[in-house]
Structure 1
Amino acid sequence: MLYGIAAAAATLLLSALLTGVLRVPALRLGITDRRRRRPLPLSGGTAVALATVLVAAGADAAGLLPLGAGVGRMAVAAGCVALLGLAADLRRLRWWVTPAGTAVAAAFVVPYEETGVAAGVAAVGWIVVATAAFRALDHADGLAGTVGAVGAFGAAACATAELMDGLAALLGVLAAALAGFLLHNWFPARAGLGAAGALFTGFVLASSAVFVRAGQGIGAGAAVLYALAAIGCADAALVVLGRRLDRRAVTRGRPDHLGHRLRRLGLAPRAVPVLLGAGSAGGALVAVCVHTGRLSPGAAWWVAAAAAVLVLVLVRRPVTPVFRPRQRVASASSQVSERLRVRSG
């Protein structure tokens, strides 16, 4: 217990330090969020991945927090996925590249001896979908970090119930790394997570959930997996449904995610991650209770119903940006002033 607390504290400090130190190199290399009106360095993704892997590997090598062969293999695969995400941050990749790379990494992680071949293939598909859905949450300051940290705590609780101490330790370290990153990512953000950090975090969370439920009931397993990823699934459903209703390409980015639409309802930027983080905490609580037998798998339907209501309420909200760029506002003001000057003259 004491070693776990020390590892989490070290990870939090290391992640916060690396996020700040790597900001300048990220700006110089052009690793920035292209969706922003100002350059936002995506140093958080590298910081979260490095802090998590370094602390977990160091504690495992020292014998303080043994990970085990399966968890160690998952950490290596997650590192490879993070490198793929870093490539996506550096340059635009075709939409299918990151899902394909995630599927290859997941194929080496799923414990087929416990799941069986058919369920293992389904688990690979789930890891790909859940990882992509989590990546899409990186569209608002503080959102992906908050939901990821909450999901890591929920998955760690499930792992602890199964006496998977190595997996619980890795998830605890990940949650601490995300907390350190949030010190720079809370509105107004000074650093972003990017594809590297989002893919790394989503992959670890999805793979951990598969590890925890491997070899157990399919119905309860599906309920646990969904409840842990409820916010990401709701965001993905909202985006797909909204774009199909507007007859737009699903793979073409737009400001139509959960955070964007909640902002259109009038929520403050800092309220969005708090609200969705609370929703993620509710889903994680249901997942833990279902996993430990305190609730029936049917409880996940309540989570699904709440997510469906949220999607249906928001799907017809406007998706235009909340604020116009300052440059355009200033230009419009100067044009009006010029017209008034000409008329008065």
Structure 2
Amino acid sequence: MNGATVVVASATGCLLTAGATPVLGRLALRWGFTDRPGGYKAHDRPIPYLGGVAVMLGTIIPSAVVLGLTDLRTTSIMIASMAVALLGLVDDLSSLSPFTRLAVEAVAAGGVVLGGVQAPLTGSWLDAPFTVLWIVVITNSFNLLDNMDGALGAIATVSAAFLAGTAFVHAHPATGLVLLTLALSSLGFLVHNWAPAKIFMGDTGSLFIGFVLACSAALLMTGRSTGTMVAGLLLPTFIATVDTGVVFLSRKRAGRPLLQGGNDHISHRLRRLGLSTRLTVLTLAAVAAASGALGLMMALGWVSPILATIAAIGMALMLIGLPQKVHVYPSGRSQAHATNIREGRR
């Protein structure tokens, strides 16, 4: 596989997604597959789903055409990610129970692990269930991250691009191709999802993106040291991991259900600090770029795994600590004000 093939495949994914997204959006409106306003949601009109289908098609079709069945582990990731995307589509159309979602995600992750992907936490049989658990958690973390116009599309574009660079450095060109195609497909979708969004990706796209990134990061760390593995898993998924930590801490402290939607994510806290929606998205993308660049530098040998891990922990503590100072559960008059500035759907 040469560089021209990679560029053509990823560019095709971008164009395919950009072109398919408005078509799928019109179909979603015709069929009534929309996210309707109400509750904690910010939009005041129905917004079509199915954007995630375009992201999935733009990623899988060019990658499958180029790669075929040449790489077993990458093929297992693509097949399992399509199953997870289908799960998300069903959930978009008719809400599934959390147990059903987690069970299907665990089976899909188990298939990837059986295909040879294992994060080396202990060097024993425990690595298999740990990898499955990690993939499921990160997949759902990216699902929760889809809470503001343009947020997940921008973060996925940046994170997948830097992880693709890491894959090429580690001599995993097949995985690098899939990731780069995912990055540009996310960019093609972002054109239509940039605030104010014309279409949402829904669970189809967010679960697909999270699953591909989680599995790819685990694949690139397979067979490496535990120290390298910690940084190698955390850095490509940094924003999603930290955002889930912020939400977990705030909801536990407030006594709110952990799986209930709300406006208590990092993005919503940044909005309450005065940032616009677009500036919030650019800020999150910049942080994702910084963590992704740190992971790439570690792969190149410019930064040691220990220093990369310390830097990641430091950034995480800042992102967890500062937003916690922003009040996100107002009452009384402040509730009406909070309603006016909210931007998320979860």
Asked whether the two chains share a fold, i.e. TM above 0.5, the reply is yes
* 1:30 equivalent among 27, 32, 41: 32
In the alignment, the residues of structure 2 paired with residue 316 and residue 32 of structure 1 have an alpha-carbon distance, to the nearest angstrom, of 34
Cα distance change, pair 56–162 in 1 and its aligned pair in 2 (3 A): same
Aligned to 2:92: 89
In the alignment, the residues of structure 1 paired with residue 340 and residue 184 of structure 2 have an alpha-carbon distance, to the nearest angstrom, of 35
| Structure 2 letter corresponding to 1:317 | V
| Structure 2 letter corresponding to 1:19 | T
In the alignment, the residues of structure 2 paired with residue 95 and residue 153 of structure 1 have an alpha-carbon distance, to the nearest angstrom, of 31
Contact 2:145–2:243 (CA under 8 A) maintained in structure 1? yes
* Moved >4 Å (runs of 4+): 111-116, 320-323
Contact 1:220–1:291 (CA under 8 A) maintained in structure 2? no
Q: Which has the larger radius of gyration?
A: 1
Q: Is 1:161 aligned with 2:169?
A: yes
In the alignment, the residues of structure 2 paired with residue 160 and residue 295 of structure 1 have an alpha-carbon distance, to the nearest angstrom, of 17
Cα distance change, pair 301–98 in 1 and its aligned pair in 2 (3 A): farther
CA deviation map 1:115-144 (0-9, x unaligned): 553212211111111111111110011110
Cα distance change, pair 240–294 in 1 and its aligned pair in 2 (3 A): same
Aligned to 1:44: 51
CA deviation map 1:98-125 (0-9, x unaligned): 2221111011112548655321221111
Spell out the pairing of 1:301-316 with structure 2 (5 A cutoff).
301-316=310-325
In the alignment, the residues of structure 1 paired with residue 90 and residue 196 of structure 2 have an alpha-carbon distance, to the nearest angstrom, of 26
Contact 2:235–2:292 (CA under 8 A) maintained in structure 1? yes
Spell out the pairing of 1:173-192 with structure 2 (5 A cutoff).
173-192=181-200
Shift of 1:31: 2.4
In the alignment, the residues of structure 2 paired with residue 179 and residue 246 of structure 1 have an alpha-carbon distance, to the nearest angstrom, of 36
Aligned to 2:17: 15
Shift of 1:301: 2.0
Contact 1:67–1:170 (CA under 8 A) maintained in structure 2? no
Aligned to 1:278: 286
In the alignment, the residues of structure 2 paired with residue 18 and residue 291 of structure 1 have an alpha-carbon distance, to the nearest angstrom, of 35
Contact 2:231–2:312 (CA under 8 A) maintained in structure 1? no
In the alignment, the residues of structure 1 paired with residue 192 and residue 268 of structure 2 have an alpha-carbon distance, to the nearest angstrom, of 20
Spell out the pairing of 1:61-140 with structure 2 (5 A cutoff).
61=68, 67-110=70-113, 111-112=115-116, 117-140=125-148
In the alignment, the residues of structure 2 paired with residue 302 and residue 143 of structure 1 have an alpha-carbon distance, to the nearest angstrom, of 23
Cα distance change, pair 87–294 in 1 and its aligned pair in 2 (3 A): same
Stretch deviating more after TM superposition (173-182 or 105-114): 105-114
Q: Is 1:248 aligned with 2:256?
A: yes
In the alignment, the residues of structure 2 paired with residue 197 and residue 266 of structure 1 have an alpha-carbon distance, to the nearest angstrom, of 29
In the alignment, the residues of structure 2 paired with residue 268 and residue 57 of structure 1 have an alpha-carbon distance, to the nearest angstrom, of 39
Shift of 1:67: 5.0
| Structure 1 letter corresponding to 2:101 | T
CA deviation map 1:158-181 (0-9, x unaligned): 111121111111111111110100
Aligned to 2:271: 263
Contact 2:106–2:132 (CA under 8 A) maintained in structure 1? yes
| Structure 2 letter corresponding to 1:47 | A
Give the TM-score of the pair, scaled to structure 1: 0.88
In the alignment, the residues of structure 1 paired with residue 138 and residue 259 of structure 2 have an alpha-carbon distance, to the nearest angstrom, of 16
In the alignment, the residues of structure 1 paired with residue 130 and residue 299 of structure 2 have an alpha-carbon distance, to the nearest angstrom, of 19
Shift of 1:323: 4.7
In the alignment, the residues of structure 1 paired with residue 210 and residue 191 of structure 2 have an alpha-carbon distance, to the nearest angstrom, of 20
Spell out the pairing of 1:332-343 with structure 2 (5 A cutoff).
none
In the alignment, the residues of structure 2 paired with residue 53 and residue 59 of structure 1 have an alpha-carbon distance, to the nearest angstrom, of 10
Give the TM-score of the pair, scaled to structure 2: 0.88
User: 5+ residue gaps in structure 1?
Assistant: 326-345
Contact 1:103–1:128 (CA under 8 A) maintained in structure 2? yes
| Structure 1 letter corresponding to 2:280 | V
Stretch deviating more after TM superposition (283-292 or 178-187): 283-292
Contact 1:242–1:316 (CA under 8 A) maintained in structure 2? no
Cα distance change, pair 113–242 in 1 and its aligned pair in 2 (3 A): closer
Shift of 1:229: 1.1
In the alignment, the residues of structure 1 paired with residue 67 and residue 305 of structure 2 have an alpha-carbon distance, to the nearest angstrom, of 35
Shift of 1:29: 2.9
| Structure 2 letter corresponding to 1:181 | F
| Structure 2 letter corresponding to 1:60 | L
Cα distance change, pair 40–67 in 1 and its aligned pair in 2 (3 A): farther
In the alignment, the residues of structure 2 paired with residue 257 and residue 9 of structure 1 have an alpha-carbon distance, to the nearest angstrom, of 32
Stretch deviating more after TM superposition (244-253 or 14-23): 244-253
In the alignment, the residues of structure 1 paired with residue 31 and residue 125 of structure 2 have an alpha-carbon distance, to the nearest angstrom, of 43
Contact 2:73–2:117 (CA under 8 A) maintained in structure 1? no
In the alignment, the residues of structure 1 paired with residue 295 and residue 142 of structure 2 have an alpha-carbon distance, to the nearest angstrom, of 17
Contact 1:42–1:191 (CA under 8 A) maintained in structure 2? yes
Count residues in correspondence. 321
Contact 1:42–1:193 (CA under 8 A) maintained in structure 2? yes
